[in-house]
Structure 1
């Protein structure tokens, strides 16, 4: 195809420069056009809010069933997961996962989350400083959620697997190759899973219950465990870390939230927009289509950049600013049929932490940020924080 007539951006979306400082790259893609060609990856990209949202709504044209990664190996291995499915298959798998993740299903766990959140805040108040990621934002997912998933591996093991899985969703670059053995280990682990290897009455056990009822195959059940292991940890951890960082860096923000706790849900949604922990997933064009005068051909791959869309100045007023006055939705949890199944869980965890902090923490200080290096995830790997 002759690409001379279409916008082209010659950047390595997964290179060290774009990973370390992504906003200039996202802006370059947005400014170039609604859909642009990435010659280094031989795929299209969308970075403007309206276009990414529209593509996510159009799951007939932009398909997930051929995988959402930027490389064929990961797309092949992930074909039995909920993320890599469309239509009735996706709806069936999603319904099975949601039995564990609706607000009603999560309500019995609320007290456990609240107790863990209070213990976490009080423990950190007693310390001069702490790691804002490992000691704060990872605490609830690691201590509480990993137990609910019910696979008999350590939470730290789950974290390593999950991060590697997200690395594998990029191209076959040095970063992806260096963690490939871990993502493949998770794949092999799920293939060996059976009911005796998961805790009774756990989320993982509910997947095998569905297989026993004939709702999905045993192979689907094994692969769908990844839908719990990978997304339930990293994305919430990164969004929570962004929340804490913003509370410690935006003047007056923490005082405003303490004075009006009804703004807690707004703070959580805004943190997810700012964090955009998933940089983006790819889709495959199902049939020849035209987007703003650009012809996309059947079989071509398009990167839908949630993180770029969430900072689009065409849609958000001062998108680089964290504000509790912002209204409306964002794409931090995706959109449309593939909206994150764990969204209610993430909201519950983050809101619970804030409610534990409000009566106990007067000031928040943060410093020394270390960015995360991952092909698909973005956010903080670590930073120093303190409570008084």
Structure 2
């Protein structure tokens, strides 16, 4: 495509970028408000203000034509909330929010906190563990598995979630090898009905909305995916990165222990730095200009949440963990109409884990980080840790 945008001829989804995207994200930000990625035949936006503006402009940057970097996923996932716009999106999101709004989550707050205290107590002090597994996985997996109400076990839910995020990338090795798992999740959901989910569960609420005529039967099955796929890996990655941040910023952890009212700020700042979602794509609905560069109608652009969260134009000294960062409205959970519908659940789980640590954990140490390689997610797939 002939374009006046700066060209970055690198593979955004290649192994070097997935090992650590920060250098490439910085190149994209420094090159301009919008760049062209010839290897993927799409534009990329990595600066905070431009990513935020695009996320809030769902008339131009549309999700209904898919948010993946390949046409197959964009076709198969068209009935989900993430892959919709306007009134359709609002109707689907309303059904999900029945279970995920702050008032509804208040009913499970005690359960989440109990699970978090159990995790910390079982890990104890002085014993090394894998943060990504022993610390981060238990709360979201058990909460989501119990509340969603679909059979299949936690391990299968985790495989489905990871595969679904790989499927949002281009057609490459990762999306191809996890394709059968993604397809298996899709086939399983297509067979779902009220009799195959737990009574009173989140999935049951979706089928109740179908019975009320608010959504179709096909949408109801797809919306169960919206509970499973986004609720696991992202929170697990965020919790693991939280331990990484606390270990590398002992002064921050000491402040939070002395003043537990800082727990929400610590969680928000850690998600800014860790940003589990690298970014989603959008289709451009009509010709649109950004700083003199025209994005033609029908083109595709990837909005890089993680790059925007480290934009020094918006966040002074962006690599620093700052509990006092003013107006820390980062994009780790997105923004605009498609802000993560599970944001309140994620905050509840992350805050519960941190609060559970405060009475008995004086410090955190970590070593041997191994990074996840996923087309859409970023973070640690394993991280050795120890409480003291």
With normalisation by structure 2, the TM-score equals 0.98
Residue 127 of structure 1: how far off its partner (Å): 6.0
2-side partners of 1:353 and 1:296: how far apart?
Answer: 43
SS at match of 2:107: helix
Q: Deviations over 1:49-85 (max 9, x none)?
A: 0000000010000000000000000000010000000
SS at match of 1:231: helix
**Pairs within 5 Å for 1:23-34:** 23-34=22-33
Q: Is the 8 A contact 2:125 2:386 kept in 1?
A: no
Q: Deviations over 1:282-316 (max 9, x none)?
A: 00000111111111111100000001000111110
Residue 6 of structure 1: how far off its partner (Å): 2.3
SS at match of 2:36: strand
Counterpart for residue 361 of structure 2: 361
Residue 145 of structure 1: how far off its partner (Å): 2.2
Alignment of 1:307 onto 2:306: yes
1-side partners of 2:141 and 2:60: how far apart?
Answer: 37
Counterpart for residue 371 of structure 1: 371
Counterpart for residue 127 of structure 2: 128
1-side partners of 2:27 and 2:125: how far apart?
Answer: 45
2-side partners of 1:207 and 1:136: how far apart?
Answer: 31
Alignment of 1:342 onto 2:342: yes
Counterpart for residue 71 of structure 2: 72
Counterpart for residue 45 of structure 1: 44
Gaps of 5+ in 1: none
Q: Deviations over 1:345-375 (max 9, x none)?
A: 0010111111111111112111110100100
1-side partners of 2:369 and 2:320: how far apart?
Answer: 18
**Pairs within 5 Å for 1:5-154:** 5-125=4-124, 128-154=127-153
Residue 153 of structure 1: how far off its partner (Å): 1.2
Residue 126 of structure 1: how far off its partner (Å): 5.3
Residue 144 of structure 1: how far off its partner (Å): 1.9
2-side partners of 1:163 and 1:69: how far apart?
Answer: 14
Residue 322 of structure 1: how far off its partner (Å): 1.3
Residue 196 of structure 1: how far off its partner (Å): 1.2
User: For the structure 1 residues 55 and 2, does the alpha-carbon distance in structure 2 shift closer, same or farther, using more than 3 Å as the test?
Assistant: same
Counterpart for residue 267 of structure 2: 268
Matched length: 387
Residue 10 of structure 1: how far off its partner (Å): 0.4
Q: Is the 8 A contact 2:250 2:363 kept in 1?
A: no
Alignment of 1:326 onto 2:325: yes
Q: CA RMSD in A?
A: 0.9
Residue 240 of structure 1: how far off its partner (Å): 1.0
With normalisation by structure 1, the TM-score equals 0.98
SS at match of 1:140: helix
Residue 137 of structure 1: how far off its partner (Å): 1.0
2-side partners of 1:384 and 1:126: how far apart?
Answer: 14
Q: Deviations over 1:131-152 (max 9, x none)?
A: 1010011110112222111111
2-side partners of 1:277 and 1:351: how far apart?
Answer: 16
Residue 25 of structure 1: how far off its partner (Å): 0.4
1-side partners of 2:205 and 2:170: how far apart?
Answer: 33
SS at match of 2:7: coil
Q: Deviations over 1:216-235 (max 9, x none)?
A: 00000001111001011111
2-side partners of 1:136 and 1:327: how far apart?
Answer: 30
2-side partners of 1:319 and 1:155: how far apart?
Answer: 36
Counterpart for residue 382 of structure 2: 382
Counterpart for residue 251 of structure 2: 252
Residue 252 of structure 1: how far off its partner (Å): 1.2
1-side partners of 2:253 and 2:370: how far apart?
Answer: 22
1-side partners of 2:249 and 2:93: how far apart?
Answer: 37
Gaps of 5+ in 2: none
Counterpart for residue 2 of structure 2: 2
Q: Deviations over 1:195-219 (max 9, x none)?
A: 1111111111100000011100000
1-side partners of 2:219 and 2:38: how far apart?
Answer: 35
1-side partners of 2:260 and 2:144: how far apart?
Answer: 25
2-side partners of 1:191 and 1:176: how far apart?
Answer: 21
SS at match of 2:385: strand
- The runs of at least 4 consecutive aligned structure 1 residues that moved more than 2 Å come to none
